[in-house]
Amino acid sequence: MTQSLLTLSATETLAKLRKKELSATELARTTLARAAAIAPLNAYLHITETKALEQAAAADAAYAAGTAGPLAGLPLGVKDLFCTAGIKTTAASKMLEPFVPAYESTVTAKLWAAGAVNVGKLNMDEFAMGGSGENSAFGPARNPWDVNRVPGGSSSGSAAAVAAYACFGATGSDTGGSIRQPASFTGTVGIKPTYGRCSRFGMVAFASSLDQAGVFARNTADAALLLQTIAGHDANDSTSAPLAVPDWVGELKQVNLKGLKIGLPREYFIEALNPVIKAAIHAAAQRFEAQGAELVEVSLPSTPYAVAAYYIVAPAEAASNLARYDGMRYGLRVEGSGLIETYINSRTAGFGDEVKRRIMVGNYALSSGYYDAYYTKAMQVRTLIANEFDAVFKQVDVLFCPTAPSLPFKIGAKAKDPVSLYLEDAFTIPASMAGLPGLSVPCGTAAEDGVTLPIGLQMIGPRWSEGRLLQLAHAWEQLRGPFQIPFIQNY
Amino acid sequence: MGEMAEISDKELQKLALLSRLRFEGEALATFRTQFANILGFVDQLKQLNTDGIRPLTSTANLPSTPERPDVVTSANQRETLQRSAVKAEHGFYVVPKVVE
């Protein structure tokens, strides 16, 4: 009973709730028990049981009264960088360990207004800085496919909890790949919308010109439902776009593959790409070709420089954003002999190694002697990357490429060499730099060292093309057939 | 990948002070190596010709920022916000003495 309930899709679960075949309270209790049972994965930092049961009771009352919202009673997880009023929000940092926000992020406020139930706050790389989840101050989250491997990052807990059936979907944030790469590593669907599609209000800031909220789900229809709930303009975020949010769920099947031009960017099928992944992506593209789509090899020549440019732009913005953590108004304070020493003590104790590295690199790149050589240069490269995407989207409708160059790797494998970990983001960073939407959908599995691991297909589209990406991912799910993440009782 | 980026201990310590961070002992040695590796990595950008290219600061590319109605809201109240303060008294944040 428990397993058959937890493995339903969000869409199926909501149908059952609507027909009153299932009570939201029963569903919340079952999900909360599952969230507790997967503790060895370290996906949840904080299970919000009281809140979940309150919201579930409200959902049951709303169903009885006929006033239930589109997500009423649906248990979801929240990446711990979305501020939740009255609920601890740490961004997986010791710096914010004592922080209880006074206000709610716009994204989560929209979920609760639609009736969703908050199961808990999810683990992540500290301040979203990382690609493996290992930079969490509260220990790494583990991959449900193999607990010795990383679930990807930075939205490590979101990906792990959804893949472990401990919620029906989760929020994530993506600055350089932090939704798409963990989705690929856990066999889930993850979408990062166009920059400006979702409000950043109440998200702990990392790199403001790149940060964007998105979602994880176990299939594309669920992802569409969650994304259309959280998207939309917000007066509290001046970079959020004043555009109407389409009915992505309703439009999911309105796609014609005949004549669709799919671009395969040469620079994403390089030597560093695991050949098994390369074969899986090509096989998926050929399935679309068999349906009448046209495959076109395209080139985005600046791609090899995107990671380097990102690791100047993102740290520069991070160094500025994280200057607010001074130990004075909120967060951790470690007293010193005076003001400056208190700042230094607090920040040295509160931030982890990767966060410190990025603050230092960022401040270095922004310093007067190096500003033009590093920061201006990186922003110019960003222009090249964006222009090349614009040109390519005059030739093709969408790009298909791998989400990540490798399969989920073992915990600790890349921990000592930051640059080797940075390169894991090589295929997700370019779309982030250009502000484009990207989606990762499972396209197969591969065996490595006796374990089966998922492979993600990334689809990148022009600005505001989330609808098309969701349609194509949905079409792919029909071509691919069912993709079941193993349900494991005890990790 | 170009020559190895060099940063002196003095420069590193100055940067740390300005960043309000401290690196000591083994952590300093590890940090120095990693910092140099990262700079060495990003130095590859020098190979690209970007003469005359406009720097891209944001992809938001919005026609204009819509104005919000000028009305009083109940958000951002001092008492609520100061509930997460490290130390607050009489509605003020308590900080270490700055002026002697």
By Cβ distance, the residue of B15, B38, B59 closest to A419 is B38
Query: In this predicted structure, what is the pLDDT of residue B79?
Result: 87
Shared domain check, A321 and A241: no
- Whole-number Å distance between alpha carbons of A102 and B85: 11
Shared domain check, A34 and A132: yes
Contacts of A345 in chain B (CB under 8 A): 22
For the record, the structure tokens of A400 come out as 């298909």
Listed residue (A115, A118, A119) closest to A18, CA to CA: A115
Q: Answer whether A357 sits within 8 Å of B31, measured CB to CB.
A: yes
Backbone angles phi, psi at B15, to 5 degrees: -65, -40
Residue of chain A nearest B32, judged by CA positions: A357
Query: In this predicted structure, what is the pLDDT of residue A21?
Result: 97
Residue B47, Cβ neighbours under 10 Å: how many? 11
Shared domain check, A349 and A244: no
Listed residue (A307, A295, A306) closest to A264, CA to CA: A295
Shared domain check, A75 and A179: yes
How far apart are the two ends of chain A, measured CA to CA in Å? 19
Shared domain check, A202 and A75: yes
* Domain end marker among A224, A253, A282: A253
- Could you state, in order of their start, the residue ranges of all structural domains in chain B? 9-47
Coil vs helix vs strand at B7: coil
| Residues A386-423 pLDDT 10s | 999 999 999 999 999 999 999 999 999 998 888 889 99
A367 touches chain B (CB under 8 A): yes
Q: Which of residues 285-324 of A touch B (CB under 8 A)?
A: 302, 305, 308-309, 311-312, 319
Query: In this predicted structure, what is the pLDDT of residue B3?
Result: 45
Shared domain check, A246 and A309: no
Q: Which of residues 195-234 of A touch B (CB under 8 A)?
A: 195-196, 209, 233
* Domain end marker among A381, A396, A419: A381
Shared domain check, A191 and A334: no
* Most A-contacting residue of B4, B31, B56, B92 (CB-CB within 10 A), to test interface: B56
Total of domains in chain A: 2
The residues of A annotated as belonging to the active site are 79, 154, 178
- Whole-number Å distance between alpha carbons of A9 and A448: 28
Residue of chain B nearest A423, judged by CA positions: B41
| Residues A92-129 pLDDT 10s | 999 999 999 999 999 999 999 999 999 999 999 999 99
Q: What would the 3-class secondary structure string for chain A be?
A: CHHHHHCCCHHHHHHHHHCCCCCHHHHHHHHHHHHHHCHHHCCEEEECHHHHHHHHHHHHHHHHHCCCCCCCCCEEEEECCECECCECCCCCCHHHCCCCCCCCCHHHHHHHHCCCEEEEEECCCHHHCCCCCCCCCCCCCCECCECCECCCCCCHHHHHHHHCCCCCCEEEEECCCCCHHHHHHHCCEEEECCCCCECCCCECCCCCCCCEEEEEECCHHHHHHHHHHHECCCCCCCCCCCCCCCCCCCCCCCCCCCCCEEEEEHHHCCCCCCHHHHHHHHHHHHHHHHCCCEEEEECCCCHHHHHHHHHHHHHHHHHHHHHHCCCCCCCCCCCCCCHHHHHHHHHHHHCCHHHHHHHHHHHHHHCCCCHHHHHHHHHHHHHHHHHHHHHHCCCCCEEEEECCCCCCCECCCCCCCHHHHHHHHCCCHHHHHHCCCEEEEEEEEEEECCEEEEEEEEEECCCCCHHHHHHHHHHHHHHHCCCCCCCCCCC
Closest chain B C-alpha to A2 CA, distance in angstroms: 39
Return per-residue pLDDT of chain A as tens, 491 residues.
589 999 999 999 999 999 999 999 999 999 999 999 999 999 999 999 999 999 999 999 999 999 999 999 999 999 999 999 999 999 999 999 999 999 999 999 999 999 999 999 999 999 999 999 999 999 999 999 999 999 999 999 999 999 999 999 999 999 999 999 999 999 999 999 999 999 999 999 999 999 999 999 999 999 999 999 999 999 999 999 999 999 999 999 999 999 999 999 999 999 999 999 999 999 999 999 999 999 999 999 999 999 999 999 999 999 999 999 999 999 999 999 999 999 999 999 999 999 999 999 999 999 988 999 999 999 999 999 999 999 999 999 999 999 999 999 999 999 888 888 999 999 999 999 999 999 999 999 999 999 999 999 999 999 999 999 999 999 999 999 999 999 999 99
- The type of residue at A169 is G
Residue of chain A nearest B89, judged by CA positions: A329
Output the domain CATH number for residue A170: 3.90.1300.10
- Whole-number Å distance between alpha carbons of A339 and A392: 53
pLDDT band, very low/low/confident/very high, at B5 (cuts 50, 70, 90): low
Q: Answer whether A377 sits within 8 Å of B46, measured CB to CB.
A: yes
Is A211 part of a structural domain of the chain? yes
Query: What are A261's strand-pairing partners?
Result: A294
By Cβ distance, the residue of A335, A344, A367 closest to B20 is A344
- Whole-number Å distance between alpha carbons of A125 and A355: 10
Q: Please, are residues A400 and A281 in contact by the beta-carbon 8 Å criterion?
A: yes
Domain that holds residue A326: 303-381
Shared domain check, A248 and A142: yes
Is A77 part of a structural domain of the chain? yes
Asked if residue A154 has a cis previous peptide bond (ω within 30° of 0), the answer is: yes
Residue for token digits 């309270």?
Answer: A25
Shared domain check, A313 and A233: no
Q: Please, are residues A332 and A296 in contact by the beta-carbon 8 Å criterion?
A: no
Is A467 part of a structural domain of the chain? no
Q: Answer whether B60 sits within 8 Å of A348, measured CB to CB.
A: no
Q: Answer whether B97 sits within 8 Å of A102, measured CB to CB.
A: no
Question: Is the model more confident about B5 or about B44?
Answer: B44
Contacts of A435 in chain B (CB under 8 A): 59-61
Closest chain A C-alpha to B32 CA, distance in angstroms: 10
Is B2 a residue whose pLDDT tops 70?
no
Residue for token digits 């997967």?
Answer: A38
- Whole-number Å distance between alpha carbons of A433 and A351: 26
Contacts of B47 in chain A (CB under 8 A): 305
Is A491 part of a structural domain of the chain? no
CA Rg value for chain A? 21
Shared domain check, A37 and A185: yes
Query: In this predicted structure, what is the pLDDT of residue B1?
Result: 37
* Domain end marker among A253, A288, A323: A253
